[in-house]
Amino acid sequence: MAYDPITLGILWNRLISITDEIVASLVRTSFSTVVRESYDLSCVLLDARGHSLAQGSWSGTAFVGTIPKTVRHLLKRFPPETLKPGDVLATNDPWLGTGHLFDITVTRPVFRKSRLLGFTTTVTHLPDIGGRGFSSNAREVYEEGLRLVPCKLYDRGKPVAAMFELIRSNVRVADQVIGDINANITANELGSARLLTFMDEYGIEDLSSLSDSILSHSEQAMRAEIAKIPPGTYTNTVMAEGVDGDITIACRIDVSGDRISIDYAGSSPQSSFAINTPFCYTYAFTAYALKCLTIPDIPNNEGAFRPVVASAPTGSILNPTFPAATGGRHALGHFVPTAIFGALQSVLPERVLADPGLINLIRFYGRNLQGERFSTVYFASGGMGAHAHGDGLTATPAPSNICSTPVEIFETLTGILVSRRAIRPDSGGRGRHRGGHGQEIQFVNATDHPVSLSLFANRTRFAARGFQGGCDGAPRLVLLNGQPVDPKSQQELAPGETVDFAEAGGGGFGPPEGRDPSVIARDERGAMVKAGTV
């Protein structure tokens, strides 16, 4: 069936509204702040073939690139003809899912008159998965926690009790973990009902033709934009801090007609620590970066990624082999878009962003003022990179779009006091347009118990680079009781002790001499830069 543009737009927007309702349900029923406050999640509708059609507006940047592949892995284990109404499938396998054990992918097949129509799928970052906990210090995935191979959480509408017992007995904050998993299941059930209502309302018997139209439209739009990039080969090399040495991320981009391929040959070999980035996550951020540069205004779906081909050497930091530890896969995976933007800045100067200060994930685990266990992640943000049309945003996550937990909620749940939170002056790279500033945060252990702290900080030695003559941003600093500590380590915060983070600034864009004097004066009045600097 062919759809005219207006009808297609209406139906497409309705599918997105369903995913937005799935997001709302997931957030409102979850138990952890990681989902409820930080929105470390994604919700997607897929057709019966496992092709993603629509993603919730509030969703993680990378997950639309992982979910379709994860669902197809689940279908290899549970073929479509074996599925029944009420089944719920799940996995957190790093190589099949989103790159580390802490994200669980939950999918529910949608049936109408005993016919499989599609899937509703959610991903959330669990507050705990057992093992050593969320850290970069594990040496193998076995140390990092419970790995769920593709499994059923519900069978024909009934919970698989053994699976829930297995999970509950292997995690630290069981009520939160099980609560979040049940929130995923509930949200998918709601999405299934809404999808069936949508199909009844419009008299749609099968999603295939609508799916083909949506995917084809996005693919054609992506190919048209790729074709506007001058053909050729573009390269870039990015350096990042590892655990036991520096990491190289090499990127080669080949553009030919409406085709684009990205090869990460030359990148460092996989690490013996938990900073490896499985290829599913590498590809997802590759596709995300290219979509940002080409068709950012078209809603996310799998069709946009069909023209994107990517590869990384097996056994490299961006394509590690099992059983590599991958808990901190974001610490290097977030450099993938910066590598791509840097490679293409010469031909797409009006579209790229200078390097961002990147997000900083801080994992806290301990007992609060009531003696209850908590395990949570605090997301602190550096500044975004500047661009050809303006300054970078201050204290804004990139390339991930996770929110920070409000201070009042964080303090109430953990007993950890946030004694300072402020914009870090003069941290954004100078330029015609200035990089976004980072922020300063100080935490004080106000409980009567030691608190375990896991650090994943990057940009501590390799600052965010400026583009087109712009200056680099300020590097990130991590201080325990006023003294520098290993930025990718596990630390213990005794009662009364403090940990400070000075988040990295984004890179500037264009020569500093080109900055508008009136804007410089505004910066100085706001105490965002030192007087006399540009």
Model confidence band, residue 419 (pLDDT cutoffs 50, 70, 90): very high
Six token digits for residue 516: 């508008």
The conformation of residue 180, written as its DSSP 8-state character, comes to: H
From 173, 198, 219, give the residue that closes a domain: 219
Kindly report the pTM of this predicted structure.
Answer: 0.95
- Asked if the structure places residue 256 within a domain, the reply is no
Residues 6+ apart with CB under 8 A from 512: 430, 431, 432, 469, 470, 471, 534
Inside any domain, residue 250: no
pLDDT value at position 527? 65
* 8 Å CB contact between 460 and 476: yes
Domain assignment of residue 54, yes or no: yes
Count CA atoms within 13 Å of residue 452 on its CB side: 14
Answer whether residue 532 shows pLDDT above 80.
Answer: no
Identify the burial level of 426 via C-beta atoms within 10 angstroms of its C-beta, where 0-12 means exposed, 13-18 middle and 19 or more buried. Answer: middle
- Cα–Cα distance measured from residue 181 to residue 178, given in angstroms and rounded to the nearest whole number: 5
Does a structural domain hold residue 168? Answer: yes
Q: What is the pLDDT of residue 534?
A: 56
Q: What is the pLDDT of residue 3?
A: 83
Sequence-distant (6+) residues with CB within 8 A of 294 are 222, 225, 226
- Domain annotation covers residue 484: yes
Q: Which domain, by its residues, includes 518? A: 354-534
Does residue 522 carry a pLDDT above 80?
yes
- 179-204: per-residue pLDDT in tens? 999 999 999 999 999 999 999 999 99
Residue 109 host element (H or E): strand 103-112
CA–CA separation, 341 and 337 (whole Å): 6
Count of other CB atoms within 10 angstroms of residue 523: 22
pLDDT at 408: 95
Exposure of 2 by Cβ count < 10 A (0-12 exposed, 13-18 middle, 19+ buried)? exposed
Query: Cα–chain-centroid distance for residue 21?
Result: 20
Let me know the angle formed at the C-alpha of 193 by 188 and 196, rounded to the nearest 5 degrees.
Answer: 125
CB 50 within 8 A of CB 135: no
**pLDDT tens per residue across span 158-173:** 999 999 999 999 999 9
pLDDT at 135: 85
Average pLDDT score over residue span 333-337: 97
pLDDT the model gives residue 525: 73
Tell me whether residue 263 is in a domain. Answer: no
Report whether the peptide linkage leading into residue 159 is cis, meaning its omega lies within 30 degrees of zero. no
212 & 361 share domain: no
Between the alpha carbon of residue 37 and those of residues 29, 31, 357, 360, 451, the distances in Å are 12, 10, 22, 16, 21
Where are the strands (E) in 195-335, listed by range? 232-241, 246-256, 259-263, 308-311
pLDDT, position 531:
59
Residue 533 is assigned to a structural domain of this protein:
yes
Give tens-digit pLDDT for 368-411: 999 999 999 999 999 999 999 999 999 999 998 888 899 999 99
What pLDDT is stored for residue 244 in this prediction?
86
Mean pLDDT value across the chain: 95
Q: Which residue blocks in 266-367 are alpha helix, DSSP H?
A: 279-294, 330-333, 335-344
Distance CA 307, CA 330 (A): 24
- Point out the domain boundary residue: 190, 219, 248: 219
Judged by average pLDDT, the poorest of 22-26, 132-136, 423-427 is 132-136
Decide: 424 and 486 in contact? Cβ < 8 Å. Answer: no
Q: Could you read off the pLDDT of 116-154 as tens digits, one per residue? A: 999 999 999 999 999 988 888 899 999 999 999 999 999
Q: Which domain-ending residue is among 200, 219, 238?
A: 219
pLDDT, position 186: 98
High-pLDDT (> 70) share of the chain, %: 99
Provide mean pLDDT across the span 253-272.
97
The domain tally of the chain equals 2
Is residue 299 one of the residues assigned to a domain?
no
User: Which DSSP symbol is given to 410?
Assistant: H
Q: What is the pLDDT of residues 475-521, one digit of tens each?
A: 999 999 999 999 999 999 999 999 999 999 999 999 999 998 988 88
Amino acid in the structure at residue 124? T
Work out the number of other CB atoms within 10 angstroms of the CB of residue 3.
17
